[in-house]
């Protein structure tokens, strides 16, 4: 595998438009960027950052992405969430709480739930387990860790799955998107064919389990799918446009 280009993670971006508080914890906040064209009638995109569910990585890494999405006509909310190793239910609870808060902040607007890497896992899991009234209009999963048992078998992130769960993946099928019901809304997965961090076979496993999901293969590795300067970026925008229909 080629070395992964991580430059997007530290690239500067424009100031946020707002910060949404959705709970009492210090991590219960979300970056908000409004679509630059207010006439666009698209869903609100709630997008979850990656980082293998570990506390060292936070939402600042996707600010260049959300800035570009605002320029492309998407209002985005990028929640932080509690990242406590061995306490996965905190993360799941936070995703649902953030989606509820977005519904209150943007009443009547549909929501597309998205995420990258571990955030893609959280988006798929939350979409499959959401209350009907909070079910997202669609899901955008970018290079998602969508099959926890396979990710554990491949030892992704040097034991990231076991650190996240605090137990074996087989003991938590309720957190494993491959083993959960298919979400009610459309699912689009965009995955790099040379991804050396979450190999594309993990995305392929999800689509085998949920044939209604669409997998879009793009050139490159793990980070081009969140990099507005990459050749993969137009495929991400196209997938979002599909979900907005």
- Residue 232 and residue 22: Cα distance in Å, rounded? 32
Q: Please compute the mean of the pLDDT values over residues 152-179 and round it to a whole number.
A: 98
Tell me the percentage of the chain whose pLDDT exceeds 90: 96
Task: Grade residue 114 by pLDDT with cuts at 50, 70 and 90.
Answer: very high
Alpha-carbon span 180 to 128, nearest angstrom: 6
Taking 80 as the threshold, does the pLDDT of residue 43 lie above it? yes
Which pLDDT score is estimated for 26? 98
Q: Three-state SS for 77? A: strand
Listed in sequence order, the DSSP H helices in the chain are 63-71, 88-105, 118-129, 148-153, 160-165, 200-209, 233-244
Burial class of residue 86 (count of CB atoms within 10 Å of its CB; 0-12, 13-18, 19+):
exposed
Q: What is the pLDDT of residues 180-213, one digit of tens each?
A: 999 999 999 999 999 999 999 999 999 999 999 9
Straight-line distance from the first to the last Cα atom of the chain, in angstroms, rounded to the nearest whole number: 36
pLDDT at 1 over 70: no
- 77: confidence class by pLDDT, cuts 50, 70, 90: very high
Q: How many Å apart are CA 212 and CA 186, to the nearest integer? A: 8
pLDDT band at 3; cut points 50, 70, 90: confident
| pLDDT band (50, 70, 90) for residue 38 | confident
Q: What is the mean pLDDT of the chain?
A: 96
The reported pLDDT for the residue numbered 40 is 76
Mean per-residue pLDDT, 18-29: 98
**Could you give all domains of the chain from N- to C-terminal order, each with its CATH number?**
7-244 (3.40.50.1820)
Q: Span 52-62, mean pLDDT?
A: 97
pLDDT grade for 21, boundaries at 50, 70 and 90: very high
């Amino acid at each position: 595998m080629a070395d992964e280009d991580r430059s997007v993670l530290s690239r500067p971006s424009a100031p946020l438009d707002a910060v949404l508080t959705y709970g009492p914890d210090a991590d219960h906040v979300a970056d908000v960027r409004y679509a630059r064209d207010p006439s666009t009638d698209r869903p609100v995109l709630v997008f979850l950052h990656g980082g293998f569910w570990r506390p060292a990585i936070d939402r600042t890494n996707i600010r260049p992405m959300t800035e570009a999405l605002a320029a492309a006509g998407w209002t985005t909310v990028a929640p932080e969430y509690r990242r406590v190793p061995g306490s996965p239910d905190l993360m799941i609870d936070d995703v649902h709480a953030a989606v509820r808060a977005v519904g209150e902040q943007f009443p009547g607007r549909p929501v597309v739930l998205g995420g990258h890497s571990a955030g893609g896992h959280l988006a798929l899991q939350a979409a499959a387990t959401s209350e009907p009234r909070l079910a997202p209009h669609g899901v955008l999963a970018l290079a998602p860790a969508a099959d926890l048992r396979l990710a554990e078998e491949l030892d992704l992130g040097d034991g990231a799955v076991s650190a996240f769960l605090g137990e074996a993946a087989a003991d938590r099928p309720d957190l494993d998107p491959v083993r959960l019901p298919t979400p009610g809304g459309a699912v689009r997965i965009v995955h790099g064919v040379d991804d050396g961090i979450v190999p594309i076979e993990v995305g392929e496993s999800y689509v085998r389990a949920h044939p209604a999901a669409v997998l879009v293969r793009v050139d490159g590795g793990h980070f081009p799918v969140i990099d507005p300067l990459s050749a993969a970026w137009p495929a991400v925008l196209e997938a979002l446009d599909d979900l907005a229909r």
